[in-house]
Amino acid sequence: MAPSAGTWADMGSSSWALSFSSTARAPSTSFADQGVSMHQMRNRVVAQTRQLEELRNQVASLQDAGAGVRNMQMQVKELQANVAECMSLAKRIVDPKGGVGELARDLAVIKGKAVEQDAASKMAKDTVDKLGP
């Protein structure tokens, strides 16, 4: 005869001990009360852990991408500064008061003087040719 509640006096009976141990249950937990087994809970925890790791990897990828974007932004700003400097130099080069404009004026003066010297040289040659046979 198995007792309904285990007592110290009844523990001597081996049949009662087997009966008591087979009917004993662990304290109730909230997931056990809902009919969820430990195996199911473990599977859920494993799945959530995988999802959490995937989210961590995605966050790390986003952080890497953000760092790449910041790097590109710095490069674009540097490029903009270089372009602005090049535009300033180009303006100075093509400025009519300086750069190529000034060079063109100087070349025109040199060309004019060369034409004058060429004309003077022709006159001198003609004069020398007239003096001698």
What string of pLDDT tens digits covers the 133 residues of the chain? Answer: 444 444 444 444 444 444 444 555 555 556 555 677 888 899 999 999 999 999 999 999 999 999 999 999 999 999 999 999 999 988 888 777 777 778 888 889 999 999 999 999 998 888 888 887 6
CB 99 within 8 A of CB 92: yes
Domains contained in the chain, number: 2
Domain that holds residue 53: 37-93
One domain, residues 107 and 71: no
Torsion of CA 16, 20, 21, 24, to 10 degrees: 180
Same domain? For 41 and 89 the reply is: yes
Helices in 1-133 by DSSP H: which ranges?
14-23, 30-33, 38-94, 100-131
Q: Are residues 58 and 75 in the same domain?
A: yes
User: Are residues 89 and 60 part of one domain?
Assistant: yes
6 lies in some domain: no
Tell me, yes or no, whether 70 and 81 share the same domain. Answer: yes
Judge whether 3 and 16 are in contact, CB under 8 Å: yes
Claim to verify: residue 82 and residue 107 sit in the same structural domain:
no
